[in-house]
Amino acid sequence: MTSQHHSPSPFEAAQLLAQAESVGTAATSNHGWPAAMVFNSLAILGSLLMVGLHIVAHTGYGAPLLACTVGIWAAFTATTWSLMMRTTKLGFTKRFLSSLLSYMTLYIAAVFIGAFAFPNGSLAYYITAAVILAVMGLAAAFRELRA
């Protein structure tokens, strides 16, 4: 079996490079969606939990304990999930961790402020906290999609 080794022309080389670049771009561009969905999930979960904390604060159940437990579980899940990704965009780890830490800091602050400043609930506070958490989560999701 004989094989011919010839160098591609400059035009063919340019086409091959463009094709290789598009394959690389396609391989990483689709990987922004899973990270974006993590932050969408956190935005939804955090927002619903803030409104739920107001409701539960009136009934006397362990709302702060529930909120802390869910927050720890969400942080654990989000962090371990990201370790399983094989292909990511350039700078993913720094972006993901900074967004996750920012979100979790806001979440913890919202839970503690709500638990200590409004032990019997405050609908205005919890709705505001829900909106802020939702905006933070969605901003982190769009940040990952734009990267």
Half-sphere exposure for 22 (CA within 13 Å, toward CB): 6
**Per-residue confidence (pLDDT) for residue 19, from 0 to 100:** 76
Which pLDDT tens digit goes with each residue over 18-58? 777 776 665 555 566 677 777 777 787 777 777 777 777 77
This prediction has a pTM of 0.62
Nearest in space to 23 (alpha carbons), one of 83, 87, 82, 81: 87
Task: Please count the residues of the chain.
Answer: 147
Which pLDDT tens digit goes with each residue over 88-110? 566 677 888 888 889 889 988 99
